[in-house]
Chains A and B, each alone.
Chain A
Amino acid sequence: MPIGADLVLHEESDPDTVRNQGDALGRVIEKTATRWKTPLAIPLMDLRLEKIDLVARVGVSQKEAEAFHFTAPLDDETVVTLCGRDAGLFCPGSVARDQALAYIASIPGLLPIGMTIGPFSLVTRLMADPIAAAAMSGSGISPEDSGEVHLLMQCLQIAEATVERSIRSQVAHGARAIMICEPAANTAFLSPRQLRAGSSVFERLVMQPNLRLNSVLEELGCDLIFHNCGELIDAMVEAFAQRFHPVVLSLGSSRKLWEDARLVPADVVLYGNLPTKSFYSDGAMPVAEVIRRAEALVAKMKACGHPHILGSECDVLFVPEACDAILKKVDAMMAVTAPAAPLLKADS
């Protein structure tokens, strides 16, 4: 679980250095899996990497990458440059991520799992106001009629190419499953009102790019773990589960997994989804509440008979003064399933 890798990383004396050193990062991921007794070597959830690699091609430094946004439609030459599959080096974080995968792949009993931001979520980081552009697209405004919609579609094209490049590199380094994180494919960015009115915006901006990436994964013989911790409507969950058909579907704490089970094929494992975003606060989420919620979730999932892995809803990044509080709760959560049952059900 990403929250675990993040916590273990911050036990290192110099986390920022380890983050960029492949073998050291690999040992952190190995230690995380060992500590919480899981065969799933889930890496650090650093969803900045693909954007850093992408904007480097237009001369934006790593330091400036997070704040950088495209502000006007791109010329054709720039689009071609940004879509190039092989041009340009990966940033140190991406190189370390890949080397860590190779390290994990050499350890028997651990499943090397890669990680990437999804194409639509990457788009939302490339534009200053992606919600408005998506909403305009959803209302039927075409790229020809709006510069913002034009840029949105260009960003989607380059984002998909960037994610594909990341996936291919991670698989080449040993990943046997890739976690594609699409947290922005949610009701804050894509209006259910527009979807109810028949808009194809969700299909065009989320489903089609991810289906093409799914085909790439199939071609490479790599499994898909699909993660989305955003606010979703049932139709979105159903589309992710049935049309992507991931081996694992990871959802945020706003979803009731035991109810979502009816939307999800029986061979898709549901993962999650305690509200780990609140773990930093002992007031909002005391340890006893974590245990109560974990036990209740496990019981409900057992009752509904759907394969399930208890875990976090999302990455919860390091909060210096709350590190012990978060760690206590992660330990408590994992202890709920650890003593008596294997983490993976036999049929998953």
Chain B
Amino acid sequence: MAQNVDLYDAILNGDAKKAHAATEAAIAAGVQPMALIQESMVPAMDEVGRLFECEEYFVPELLLAGRAMKGAMELLKPLLTAAGQKMAVRVVIGTVKGDLHDIGKNIVASMLEGSGFEVIDLGTDVSPENFVAAVELRKPHVICMSALLTVTMPAMKLTIDALNTAGLRTQVKVLIGGAPVTSQYAKDIGADGYSENASGAVGLVKNLLAGEAA
């Protein structure tokens, strides 16, 4: 199947209305949902990420593209479920306990979803116990934790400790991010990786899972 140019362009330009319309038209024309995702939506988000890396795009463009992608995905999800199809990689994401900031976390979630991952967003102020429960229940491949404040960063370590205590730590990769977080901090608390932006987070997830598969 050829790329759906209308859908690709709508996502690239962050136009949610056009993305919605293009997806509806493609479904009506009998295009398979997974084909739309893999051949039009993921490439569009890859291009968004590339433009962000070379500073042609900025956070607002990332966010609008993510919203356009998410709107299109909402149309496709029921069809994927009905066809018994699933995304290959599942990611649980949340802002840690005590922290109510969600803008960065939302952008990362959008970018991950746009890259073809299934994203389970636990929201903000997520306790270590709730992260552990999500790992037990949803069996994700990756956990992403966000913190904007230095005061809430220690909750990342508490969550990793809780995963260790529950015997789940080896089952998931743990990535962290947020304004005060550093790669050194990630090492110090035993996380698997750190990214300073949403685009980098997508690459990090891919690299970590590729490394695991190798």
B185 pairs with A188, CB closer than 8 A? no
B59 pairs with A187, CB closer than 8 A? yes
B154 at the interface (CB under 8 A from A): yes
Closest to B57 in A: A193
Query: Which residues of B have CB within 8 Å of A317?
Result: 149-151
Known: A131-B103, A189-B59. A281 touches B64 (CB 8 A): no
Docked Cα-Cα span, A93 to B61, in Å, equals: 37
A280 pairs with B150, CB closer than 8 A? yes
B130 at the interface (CB under 8 A from A): no
- Which of B56, B61, B63, B180 meets A277, CB within 8 Å? B180
A132 pairs with B63, CB closer than 8 A? yes
Known: A131-B103, A316-B150. A138 touches B182 (CB 8 A): no
A278 at the interface (CB under 8 A from B): yes
A319 at the interface (CB under 8 A from B): yes
Query: Which residues of A have CB within 8 Å of B61?
Result: 135, 191, 193
B154 pairs with A319, CB closer than 8 A? yes
Query: Which residues of A have CB within 8 Å of B184?
Result: 281, 283-284
- Which of B60, B100, B124, B125 meets A131, CB within 8 Å? B60
Interface contact tally, CB-CB below 8 A: 77
B44 at the interface (CB under 8 A from A): no
Query: Which residues of A have CB within 8 Å of B185?
Result: 281, 283-284
Docked Cα-Cα span, A138 to B150, in Å, equals: 32
Docked Cα-Cα span, A316 to B188, in Å, equals: 20
A191 pairs with B150, CB closer than 8 A? no
Docked Cα-Cα span, A270 to B153, in Å, equals: 30
For residue A126, give the distance in angstroms from its CB to the closest CB of chain B.
Answer: 13
Query: Which residues of B have CB within 8 Å of A318?
Result: 150-151
B63 pairs with A131, CB closer than 8 A? yes
For residue A287, give the distance in angstroms from its CB to the closest CB of chain B.
Answer: 15
Known: A317-B150, A319-B151. A132 touches B67 (CB 8 A): yes
Query: Which residues of A have CB within 8 Å of B124?
Result: 67
B94 at the interface (CB under 8 A from A): no
Known: A280-B180, A284-B185. A66 touches B100 (CB 8 A): yes
Which B residues form the contact surface with A (CB < 8 A)? 14, 56-61, 63-64, 67, 100, 102-103, 106, 124-125, 149-151, 153-154, 179-180, 182, 184-185, 188
Taking A67-B124, A135-B60, A193-B56 as given, write out 19 further A-B residue pairs in contact, using a Cβ cutoff of 8 Å, ordered by the A residue number.
Answer: A129-B63, A129-B103, A130-B103, A131-B59, A132-B64, A135-B14, A135-B61, A191-B59, A193-B57, A193-B58, A277-B179, A277-B180, A280-B150, A281-B185, A283-B182, A283-B188, A316-B150, A318-B151, A320-B154
What are 22 A-B contacts with C-beta separation under 8 Å? A128-B102, A129-B103, A132-B63, A135-B63, A189-B59, A190-B60, A191-B60, A191-B61, A192-B58, A193-B57, A193-B58, A193-B60, A277-B150, A280-B153, A281-B182, A283-B188, A317-B151, A318-B151, A319-B151, A319-B153, A319-B154, A320-B154
Which A residues form the contact surface with B (CB < 8 A)? 66-67, 128-132, 134-136, 138, 187-194, 277-278, 280-281, 283-284, 316-322
